[in-house]
Amino acid sequence: MFVDTAKVFVQAGRGGDGAVSFRHEIYVDKGGPDGGDGGNGGDVIFVATEGLNTLIDFRYKPELKAEPGVSGSKRKRRGKSGEPLYVKVPVGTVVRREGEIIADFVEDGQEEVIAKGGDGGFGNAHFKSSVRQTPRVAERGEPGDEFELELELKLLADVGLVGFPNAGKSTFLSVVTNARPEIANYAFTTLTPNLGVADIDDGSILIADIPGLIEGASEGKGLGDAFLRHIERTAVILHLVDAYSEDVAAAYKTIRGELAAYSEDLASRPEVVALTKVEGLDDELIAMQKDALQAAAGDVPVFALSSQAHTGLTDVLRELRREVVEMREAEKAAAEEDEDTSGLAVISLGVEEKALAWKVKKVEDGERTVFVVKGHKIEKFARRTRFETFEGVNRLRDIMKKMGITHALQRAGAEGDSIIKIGLDEFTLVEQ
């Protein structure tokens, strides 16, 4: 089975907790604070890797988790950071989160941090001040990012092969490239896409062979048109037509109809047409078939070739390469003209202002009135707070005061014993 979409759950490592600890000194009851920081949680990092062309592994391993950071310990020892989890994905993988593209792997070796590990919490050694000699406050480690992702694979080939089943697509791929696809004299031999590199002159082109299309493929007939997604991003289409077809023009038009039904964009892609299996036919018949095809195809170049006799191959490859280069240059020029619509999105941690922004809201929650505080930075502080300790909560109250949140809460009607909720944690505005 060829798998070209998958759902995975990613979880970056949680940060280690900061430690509360005091130096032991013989003549001092309690020495200074020496609790170390927690280590950071490991990131989940995807790496585009050549040579992979399926997402099937993700079906067997749908959960990708990086290591957590270790808690800090005494003598200011920092906990070990969690190892990042590197996940290999095929070149051409598009990663979506809730439908939105968050990463697009277009070249070998490309790395993206998909889920960020949580920061380790500070140990109490950080919280010593002239007024606070024995701080019992330390931070919790932050949870790592975790969410579900949808993966989709669209092979990134230069040329996509289309045609009826048995037209000779896989055979063509096997003689012009290093690929060794399955070949047989029956329809639907190819069940999964094959990729191969063809060298021509001083360059090379990447060719994708997909299962054959038939009339009604766009409505799911045969193997359907799902595989066309793999040639959606190719620069050029090579349309192969069996020279032994009764009506080559009709064969050509049927496939064109299915391409058009799949997408307007694919139908308008540059195309090269070639008659296949011509080694046993006399020149007159070949010329006739070529003319019939040319009439159907309009001003698209039409070739005749034989994969068996290795004739006509170089001409087709040269034409393909010429068109691929032209198309890629046009794409590049268009991308340079319009940099920010390249569609490439990379996860970032957001702009500073966005991080600092916050909101307070009074919410009736059944019997209770709760004041909910939302905001990237304040929620981050709250996640790191040890709510079970008086010092931890007080520090959070200090931060809220500095950020102006306390004032806003009071204006919204909050009093000393009002319940404040940040993220999942609740506490009162003033120590009770």
Site residues, Mg ion (CB under 5 A): 169-170, 189-190
Using an 8 Å Cβ cutoff, are 90 and 106 in contact? Answer: no
CA-nearest of 46, 42, 66, 39 to 117 is 42
Position of tokens 């200090």? Answer: 398
- Nearer to ligand GTP by Cβ, of 277 and 421: the residue is 277
Q: State the binding partner of 144 from Mg ion, ligand GTP, none, CB within 5 to 8 A by kind.
A: none
Q: State the binding partner of 188 from Mg ion, ligand GTP, none, CB within 5 to 8 A by kind.
A: ligand GTP
DSSP β-ladder status, 5-11 and 146-153: antiparallel
> Could you tell me the two tokens for 148?
């579900």
**Residue 171 backbone phi and psi in degrees, to 5:** -65, -45
Q: State the binding partner of 277 from Mg ion, ligand GTP, none, CB within 5 to 8 A by kind.
A: ligand GTP
Distance CA 88, CA 101 (A): 18
Minimum CB separation of residue 169 from Mg ion in Å reads: 5
Residue from the set 308, 394, 410, 428 that interacts with ligand GTP by CB under 6 A: 308
- Nearer to Mg ion by Cβ, of 93 and 190: the residue is 190
Q: Does 190 bind ligand GTP (CB under 6 A)?
A: yes
Q: State the binding partner of 185 from Mg ion, ligand GTP, none, CB within 5 to 8 A by kind.
A: ligand GTP
Distance CA 202, CA 83 (A): 43
Q: Does 189 bind ligand GTP (CB under 6 A)?
A: yes
CA-nearest of 199, 286, 300, 185 to 244 is 286
Minimum CB separation of residue 173 from ligand GTP in Å reads: 8
The 348-377 site mask, x for binding ligand GTP (CB under 6 A), equals ------------------------------
Q: Give the other-Cβ count within 10 Å of 397's Cβ.
A: 19
Minimum CB separation of residue 223 from ligand GTP in Å reads: 9
Identify any residues that bridge with 45 across adjacent strands, giving them in sequence order. 86, 113
CA-nearest of 370, 375, 368, 369 to 405 is 375
Distance CA 322, CA 289 (A): 25
Minimum CB separation of residue 208 from ligand GTP in Å reads: 12
- Nearer to ligand GTP by Cβ, of 214 and 400: the residue is 214
Distance CA 190, CA 211 (A): 5
The 141-180 site mask, x for binding ligand GTP (CB under 6 A), equals ----------------------x-xxxxxxx---------
Q: Does 193 bind ligand GTP (CB under 6 A)?
A: no
Minimum CB separation of residue 245 from ligand GTP in Å reads: 12
CA-nearest of 400, 404, 411 to 361 is 411
Amino acid at position 80, single letter: K
Q: Which residues make up the interface to ligand GTP (CB under 6 A)?
A: 163, 165-171, 183-185, 187-190, 211-212, 276-277, 279, 306-308
